[in-house]
Structure 1
């Protein structure tokens, strides 16, 4: 559910330390500065290096850049979306919908964004020209570039930045699932038309990511008096990005066209077309019939097509690991009578044969995981091994929890309630259906009845957001270092937060909060590894798999490169003699 490549599923804020003794504050400020240096590759004057030039406040870069990417202009790039977005307004989007993210990154822009080729987290300026941080780390001043404007020609000013963050923090606006990332922002102030000052309640160690990678909205388009008016805005998005909205044919496609008034480096592709194809089998058929140009295949499709010589003549096949790859999971809703007890949740994990699923259904293209952190990252505890497949032990734990077959009908029960639950998943993936069947068959062997509960993508997401499920099979995208606050902290259960399973554990809350305050990386990683071990014991999720990103891309596209963070369609072009669309 994370559209991989350059898309980043979530923006994470972590707090950076309790302000106490003056000497401690000084140490933390020094460490924050060191962190910012690594993150932003700052010069000694604490200014962002823009286009390899140091830019001081009040100055702009004089470096000239080519106003378009190399290659021939023309043609369209047609992709599939697994589901229809709920809205194209960034603050109100459901960030678990990768289809929304695909559209957003082309229409809207941010102050900073991730460097494609940096092996780690590093931001580079987009709308920003320079940034300075106060000595105590509690103020950040951002200067905008001079010659930047929205697609309607209106200049981008500090008013737009202030409006964006004020809207984000407005409790009446439908942004509960991302608002917690901005809870430490104390104020956003306009200094002048091109300068914004951010103040923070406490130190952050991801200040620049939380503030910098936020889509900036044009105030003159999105300003509102009634928040419901803003919440109901679904289509006709306006931003400053390289593409503009053309039309949305409901249940069919979304079309973006190149922004000919774009202030920055123009892409070569004339149109981006996103066809709504919820089934991956149908998507592959569309790819092979030239109805779409690229897609992310399932593991099975990747394996099969990699052996197909005819397919390989027409399509490039990519496989690569990236930090945003995330993980799949089955979430156990703890408001359900079945999954309040951790022993039951562990029993559920023990009855799922993840290793056989990875081998036979996912064609050995996935790795079974034991927790939520990037498999190759420092938060992950490599000593925590996935629970095995063990029906005997699963049955024993269910017996211990009081779930026994008391009436001899072959189904476990407790207090008159039969152990029969629905496992919700999206119809977008035939692989999901196959996995659910394996789980259903194995569960039945020990008296647990699993009822498959498939939904079309948009309905599935809505049910997830409102926790209307017994158990659900889904996934999260990730980052090199992620903040589990949104997903596992108890404060995120209410108001459509992302703790959809209702995991409420004081020890987990304490570890998450302490990690947010810990600037020292070694100590912070130790806290996250403790959390990893706790989640392994508690099993709010059955952590399923991580896998590489797979891509099929039509060979007529050239300059397709795999960066540290994936592929960047902005770089692509199609030679004139191979162009399919006019």
Structure 2
């Protein structure tokens, strides 16, 4: 009702006549450009940025962090807390401290008009608890040992751990049980490819957001149409087209040609490309630069004997002049990272080892590790092995490909060979990285929520493997008992002040071992049409698409 009133008043705004208003074109569609295509469409399997952005239009998670980095309800009526009684401390049946948390669902409908109920959450819980299904993060489901419901709109989960983020459910989303349960029961291990989200993606009954996926062009794009059974503020557009253009130069060309209306900053053009575009075409679009929790880095496969010695990993980081790369490619707009935790985050430790550019120290570390210069300039060990490995990233991303070339040159200067081999994002993320098929380094970004404990990326139990159907995101294969203990202790500390020393110890330990090479914290570069209002970048993994009902066309 508020939106309708605002639109009516706008017709009589100073300087705008009824004739002018009538002349304004009605914008009933929006075309958005992305640089990646989702590896799959199932909300509870794998966490990929392209999928998270797209599904933000079509699904409602129970809870999410907003643009102010505050957790709140999207599909629930209010956030559970110990104070309001929806969270209750208790003892588990085996005598451990536990917590019982109750959520009440808002009125939501699937796209066929069927209400979203607690039974849809029950099925998601059951499938997640069966670890052969491959849901992630596995620890959430492992800890959620009991599910109960006494009302179609209310459900309770009992956890065997009391964590500071107990009120949020993150990637644990409702699934339409009447559609998905039979498929899951028929083949649990094969469910990730037999799910209706993969085989019937345009089925309206899979979607409960303001939009539903109406058509899919594999690898090329997705068409979203209004969910006729959506209960909530009406979205502005009848249709949203998501167009995937993996080559960022081609993506920019389509924007300038008017084939797409906007480029999503969450996963669109590299920052330096947008800066250059603003200089050339600043009057044609609106530009916004939003620093946030996107962390560019290189995962190293620690099962590769050449990379198993942390002195080699330390040398690689010392030989990478990250400050120079940021200055040359990004005009100083990115912040060099000491690790995955952003300086704005509550858990950040300013004393984390930073490894500034020092090629002499890098060479000394390689000498200490037994790597001597070879006749071709590449170092060799006593067994004659060359210090050479593959460096992979997403093909077509001009910025990352430039970074690869620069890093390869810097590493060559200390006697290390980086062989560049890239793949399309859907292959790189869907197969190579997620199944740990890369043999050397994988350059990509993680996007996290505020004060996100990095269990899925650094705990040894989260190393993807076949028997878990490749769930988990510890792609490096990092194993450290001390890090595991800190990751397990951190969520259990409810007092924020007492968490800080745990955060400091964790960051310092990972920054010393360097299973992944930190590069920089990214600033997302958004490009919007002049006529679009209401998009609020969040700077974290709950993307702006979740609040599409606030978007308006002028």
TM-score over 0.5 for the pair = yes
**For residues 490 and 145 of structure 2, what CA distance do their matches in structure 1 show?**
21
Q: CA deviation at 1:555?
A: 0.9
User: Structure 1 residue 123 and structure 2 residue 72: aligned?
Assistant: yes
Deviation track 1:397-437 (CA, whole Å, cap 9, x = no partner) reads 111101113x5332211212111111011113111111111
What's the counterpart of residue 15 of structure 2?
none
**For residues 504 and 563 of structure 1, what CA distance do their matches in structure 2 show?**
32
User: Structure 1 residue 150 and structure 2 residue 110: aligned?
Assistant: yes
**For residues 433 and 170 of structure 1, what CA distance do their matches in structure 2 show?**
39
Which segments of 5 or more consecutive residues in structure 2 lack a partner in the other structure? Answer: 9-25, 81-85, 91-97
What's the counterpart of residue 332 of structure 1?
300
- The alignment partner of 2:39 has SS state of coil
- Cα 1:556/1:380, change in 2 over 3 Å: same
- Cα 1:89/1:564, change in 2 over 3 Å: closer
**For residues 154 and 485 of structure 1, what CA distance do their matches in structure 2 show?**
36
1:230 to 191, 199, 202: 191
What's the counterpart of residue 154 of structure 2?
195
- Cα 1:545/1:129, change in 2 over 3 Å: closer
Q: CA RMSD in A?
A: 2.3
**For residues 252 and 111 of structure 1, what CA distance do their matches in structure 2 show?**
29
- Cα 1:333/1:71, change in 2 over 3 Å: farther
CA contact (8 A) 1:257 1:272 kept: yes
User: Structure 1 residue 307 and structure 2 residue 282: aligned?
Assistant: no
Q: CA deviation at 1:354?
A: 0.6
User: Structure 1 residue 179 and structure 2 residue 138: aligned?
Assistant: yes
What's the counterpart of residue 167 of structure 1?
127
- Cα 1:114/1:350, change in 2 over 3 Å: closer
Q: CA deviation at 1:130?
A: 7.6
2:291 to 293, 303, 321: 321
**For residues 69 and 111 of structure 1, what CA distance do their matches in structure 2 show?**
29
User: Structure 1 residue 359 and structure 2 residue 327: aligned?
Assistant: yes
- The alignment partner of 1:307 has SS state of helix
- The alignment partner of 2:401 has SS state of helix
CA contact (8 A) 1:243 1:258 kept: yes
What's the counterpart of residue 260 of structure 2?
292
**For residues 497 and 487 of structure 2, what CA distance do their matches in structure 1 show?**
15
User: Structure 1 residue 569 and structure 2 residue 548: aligned?
Assistant: yes
- The alignment partner of 1:413 has SS state of coil
CA contact (8 A) 2:213 2:223 kept: yes
The TM-score with structure 2 as length reference comes to 0.85
Deviation track 1:450-505 (CA, whole Å, cap 9, x = no partner) reads 11111111111121111122111111112220111111111112423211111111
Q: CA deviation at 1:112?
A: 3.1
What's the counterpart of residue 208 of structure 1?
167
- The alignment partner of 1:162 has SS state of helix
- The alignment partner of 2:367 has SS state of helix
What's the counterpart of residue 384 of structure 1?
352
What's the counterpart of residue 44 of structure 2?
91
- The alignment partner of 1:346 has SS state of helix
1:408 to 372, 375, 394: 375
- The alignment partner of 2:376 has SS state of coil
CA contact (8 A) 1:331 1:541 kept: yes
What's the counterpart of residue 23 of structure 2?
none
CA contact (8 A) 1:508 1:534 kept: yes
What's the counterpart of residue 141 of structure 1?
102
Q: CA deviation at 1:329?
A: 0.6
What's the counterpart of residue 423 of structure 1?
391
Q: CA deviation at 1:343?
A: 0.6
What's the counterpart of residue 95 of structure 2?
none
- The alignment partner of 1:217 has SS state of coil
**For residues 155 and 514 of structure 1, what CA distance do their matches in structure 2 show?**
39
User: Structure 1 residue 341 and structure 2 residue 309: aligned?
Assistant: yes
Deviation track 1:525-563 (CA, whole Å, cap 9, x = no partner) reads 111111111112111111100132210001122344566
CA contact (8 A) 1:82 1:276 kept: yes
**For residues 480 and 124 of structure 1, what CA distance do their matches in structure 2 show?**
16
1:273 to 222, 241, 244: 241
Q: CA deviation at 1:264?
A: 1.7
What's the counterpart of residue 466 of structure 1?
435
Q: CA deviation at 1:236?
A: 3.0
CA contact (8 A) 1:493 1:500 kept: yes
Q: CA deviation at 1:195?
A: 2.5
**For residues 539 and 487 of structure 2, what CA distance do their matches in structure 1 show?**
28
- The alignment partner of 1:156 has SS state of coil
- Between 1:265-274 and 1:488-497, the stretch displaced more is 488-497
Q: CA deviation at 1:228?
A: 4.7
Q: CA deviation at 1:74?
A: 4.5
The TM-score with structure 1 as length reference comes to 0.81
- Cα 1:253/1:150, change in 2 over 3 Å: same
